[in-house]
Amino acid sequence: MSSDLASSSAFEALSHKIETRSARAGVIGLGYVGLPLAIAIARSGFAVTGFDIDPKKIVHLDARRSYIDAVASDDLATEIDSGRFVATTDFGGLAACDVIIICVPTPLTKHRDPDLSYVEATSRAIADHLRPGQLVVLESTTYPGTTDDVVKAILETTGLRSGTDFFVGFSPEREDPGNQHYHTATIPKIVAGDGTLALSLMESFYGAAVKTVVPVSSNATAEAVKLTENIFRSVNIALVNELKTVYAAMGIDVWEVIEAAKTKPFGYMPFYPGPGLGGHCIPIDPFYLTWKSREYELPTRFIELAGEINSAMPRYVIGKLAEALDIRAGKALSRSRVLVLGLAYKKNVADIRESPSLRLMELIEERGGKADYHDPHVSEIPSTREYQHLKGRVSVTLSREVAAGYDAVLVATDHDRLDYQAIAESAPLIIDTRNVFARLGLSGDHIVKA
């Protein structure tokens, strides 16, 4: 059979399965991206198998208990009970999947180089079960060229050919934990493919599961779209973080400046300072582009400077904490007990990935202080790559008496489920990195913005 006939046959068979919802989807990596995506696909009528190397996740899912805020346990149970969703650690099930979606981590090494080990290992696992008529999609954020140069290349070691025997595409994840206005099915989905047939399959498959599909010309373009979105946020957050330090030296409140500036109906978009960047995307993704740009001997000074500014924020906050303790309490940080409010990287979620709160706790204790935390969404610090020494610490029970017993309370994450009135009335010193007390109309000489 000629390659043209083979590609046509494979394409038509898979296209028909997608159109009739008889295709089975496999989602590899059942975390903050993979699980919501798997349930959205199942809800649209496809049978979905979720794969993960962590058996604890499978136990939770089999018991119909969701561990991701974006997926309600009742919704999970509905899809399991309907037979549309099943989870497993057995990657042998990939052979039965017509569409395979990779949703695995893409962290950085300690030298801030891309770590594609999860993507590579997953691609090799897929290659072990690859067959004609499958669509393989990468959703993990990465540098332009990864889908074609890494994933496709690994899959083609089987002797099968992309665009002829199987198809490859990229569609960047756009999850926003805690966002009540958008969810997986309503967030516009960027799609791309290795060739026109792959793109057509991508549009058809994702178009069945999400409201709006936005096709682009190549996988590399789609990869660049995701990086651009996150670099935009990183650079603008760095700008307001730098303005915060400059305006503070001048006695100017940066939050008041931003509130006034955002009344301009054109040419301005508000971004807000904080104690540092968190989440998987913004602290990490920009460095994927800075790494790739070296191949072209092009500097990315703007992006790298933003990373430096944002990375310096936890140390700036601890400096403000030490200064406030010295001036207002006459006590050194080395002899102080500090309660960090909020372990998650953003409000109203349980996600602690790359959270600056972990770095804040580490810095306090490096300077001889004692750091505890309270977070209504995170009862215990789990195992993390960089802060293994904090593993197992539990959230203290918060009360007026508890708050009063610390030398300072440091607000790192402004969760809504906190009684800020009680904290303002009981804590002897408050370091507010989120401007939450001013927003609520609470003030006092013991409340210091940082």
**Residues assigned a catalytic role:** 281
Distance CA 89, CA 87 (A): 7
Q: Which residues have CB under 8 Å from 81's CB, separation 6+? A: none
Phi and psi at residue 396, to the nearest 5°:
-75, 150
With b meaning 16 or more CB within 10 Å and e meaning fewer, what string describes 111-150? eeebbbebbbebbebbbebbeebbbbbbbbbbbbebbbeb
CB 170 within 8 A of CB 219: yes
CA angle 147, 15, 206 (to 5 degrees): 55
What helix, strand, coil percent values describe the chain, rounded to 5?
45, 15, 40
Please give the structure tokens belonging to residue 28: 């590899």
DSSP result, 114-180: B--HHHHHHHHHHHTT--TT-EEEE-S---TTHIIIIIIHHHGGGS--BTTTBEEEE------TT-S
Please give the structure tokens belonging to residue 286: 């920009």
Please give the structure tokens belonging to residue 98: 């017509």
User: Of 243, 394, 388, which is closest to residue 313 (Cα–Cα)?
Assistant: 243
Looking at the chain, how many residues does it have? Answer: 450
User: Of 426, 258, 256, which is closest to residue 341 (Cα–Cα)?
Assistant: 426
With H, G, I as helix, E, B as strand and everything else as coil, classify residue 283: coil
CB 314 within 8 A of CB 359: yes
Q: Which long-range contacts (CB under 8 A, 24 or more apart) does 317-322 make?
A: 317/275, 317/276, 317/360, 317/410, 317/431, 317/433, 317/450, 318/360, 318/363, 318/364, 318/367, 320/431, 320/448, 320/450, 321/364, 321/408, 321/410, 321/431, 321/450, 322/367
DSSP result, 291-353: HHHGGGT---HHHHHHHHHHHHHHHHHHHHHHHHIIIII---GGG-EEEEE--SSSTT----T
